[in-house]
Every structure is written in structure tokens, then in C-alpha cells.
Amino acid sequence: MFIIILIVIAIAVAGSCIKIVPQARAYVVEFLGAYKATWHTGIYFKIPFFERIARNVNLKEQVIDFPPQPVITKDNVTMQIDTVIFFQITDPKLYCYGVENPISAIENLTSTTLRNIIGDMELDETLTSRETINTKMGTSLDEATDPWGIKVNRVELKNIMPPAAIQESMEKQMKAERERREAILIAEGEKKSTILVAEGKKQSAILEAEAEKQAAILRAEAEKERKIREAEGQAEAIRKVQEATAQGIEMLKEAGADESVLTLKSFEALGKLAEGQATKIVVPTDIQGIAGLATTLKEVMSDK
């Protein structure tokens, strides 16, 4: 019976000494209290009573959100800043033996580093330089945690909380800035609208002047054409009158008209003059003068 108990105990101890290391984990093994090896993914057998697993280390990237830390800027403004650290354990041995409490050490290191960086910056620069602060803190923490087997991948400032009075002042400043931008936009819109209206009136005036100019040119050309046609008509009328007169004289010459006929024609001409629109007619006192004139005209025609 005793032997059976010993066998059961031996099997239980042997079973407890078989260790399987899962993915993204590492076991730090000690032999009689001293570091012996680091077990990574796989199956291992631990020597009972002599070897022990000192620490089970998580190799995944981890995130720590530290509570807000009070910091003072270069212009003596106290604010609360909380940070988020993204880190990963790269050396389980250093992580196990490098520092007593790695997470607490990282928190204290983050607090002091943040105070040093913010102490060299003014309030406005702090509020607008998150990326710069993140980069500086990431570089400093990564260098400081290398002896602990920890790699700091990045640091993010989660919140920057200035005092209530400064927050109120900043809100008023932002409101004033928004109102100023709104006023500028309204003024710019009114300016552009006024310019567009003026440009429209200018173009309208130019078009109206151009239209009046074209109309005046067309009227002048029409008047010119009318006068040309009128002059041509008058010239044609004069030519026809002259041709008719020449034909009449020629007919009288061929008919052998005497002095009495020419006198009669002169009286007929006076009668036609009386039928016209003239209000005053000058008649020679000597009617015989007309006959003499007719005789002279006849002689001229005879000479031809």
C-alpha cells in the first residue's frame, strides 16, 4: 500500500513538472534560486524540487493608462496631463531581474520625464505641440527602459487639462476668434457682391454704349444711302428734264416754229408757273421782251 502511494505521488510530481509554454509567453526558470533559462513556446520538463518557474512573462504589446499628473509650464501654469504608454517586453530575463516593479517604475519615469519636457514649454506651446511631446517622451522612455528588457513603442498624451480660469479664457478667445472669422467672411462676401454688381453695371453700360454706337452708325449709313438715292433721283430728274427740253427744242426746230409760236409757248410757261406753289411771280413789264427772247432762242437754235 505504501508503495502504491509513493508511485501515485511520483506520477503526480512528474506530471506537475511537465510544462507547456503557450504562444506569446515566456517562462523564466531558476535552478536553486539562480537564473537558469528562459523557456519560449513549446513543451519542457522541470526538475522537481530544484527548478522553479520564477515568472510567467507576457510578450504581447501592452497598454498602460496612467492617471493625470500635475505639471507646471514655463510660464507657471499648473495643469493636469494623463498619458498612455504602449510597451512590449523584449527580454524576459531583464524584465524579471532588472527592476523590482517595472510598471511602477515606468509610471514614475513617465511622470518625471513629462515634468521635464513641459517645464521648458509655455502654455500655448504645450497645447499645440502634442506630437512633439509624444516623440520626446517616447525617445526618453525607450532609452531608460532598455536595461529592464522593455521597449516603449509610443507615448500618447490622452488629456491636457489646464485650470478652469484658463479654460474659460480660452473658450472666450475661441469664441472671439470665431466671431472675427465670421465677420471677415461676411465682409468678404459683401465685397465680392459689390464688385460683381459694379462689374455687371460696367458691362451693361459698355454694351449699351456699343449698341448706341452701332445704332448711330447704322442710322448714319441709312441717311447716307437715302441722300445718295435722293441725289441720284434729282440728278436723274434733271437729266430727264434736260433731255425733254432738248427734245422740245429739237421738235420746235424741226417744225420751223415762228416768233408767234415761241411767244405763245412763253405764255404757256408763265401759266404753268402760276399754277405752282410759289407765292410771288415776277413778270417782265415788256411782254415783247419775251418774244424777243424767244426770237433770240430761235436764232441760237438756227445756228445749231
Q: What is the DSSP string of 150-190?
A: EEEEEEEEEEEE--HHHHHHHHHHHHHHHHHHHHHHHHHHH
**Does pLDDT of 190 surpass 80?**
yes
Predicted pLDDT at 297 = 47
Predicted pLDDT at 84 = 92
Of 71-85, 225-239, 274-288, the poorest mean pLDDT is in 274-288
Show me where the domains of the chain are located.
2-58, 62-162, 256-304
- Cα–Cα distance for residue pair 164/160, rounded to 1 Å: 12
Predicted pLDDT at 256 = 60
The one-letter code for the residue type at 114 is L
What value does the mean pLDDT of the chain take? 80
Is-contact 96 118, C-beta < 8 A?
A: no
Predicted pLDDT at 27 = 92
Q: What is the CATH number of domain 62-162?
A: 3.30.479.30
> Of 82, 154, 160, 171, whose CA–CA distance to 123 is shortest?
160
Span 157-171, pLDDT tens digits:
888 888 777 777 777
Long-range contacts of 15-21 (CB under 8 A, 24+ apart): 16/48, 17/45, 17/46, 17/47, 17/48, 18/43, 18/44, 18/45, 18/46, 19/43, 19/44, 19/45, 19/46, 19/53, 20/44
Q: Dig out the grid coordinates for 211 from the structure.
A: 449698341
**Does pLDDT of 264 surpass 80?**
no
Q: What is the mean pLDDT of residues 2-21?
A: 77
Is-contact 118 71, C-beta < 8 A?
A: yes
Is-contact 262 301, C-beta < 8 A?
A: no
**Does pLDDT of 304 surpass 50?**
no
Q: What percent of the chain has pLDDT over 70?
A: 81
Task: Give the model's confidence band at 29: pLDDT under 50 very low, under 70 low, under 90 confident, else very high.
Answer: very high
Span 199-257, pLDDT tens digits:
888 888 888 888 888 888 888 888 888 888 888 888 787 877 777 777 766 776 666 65
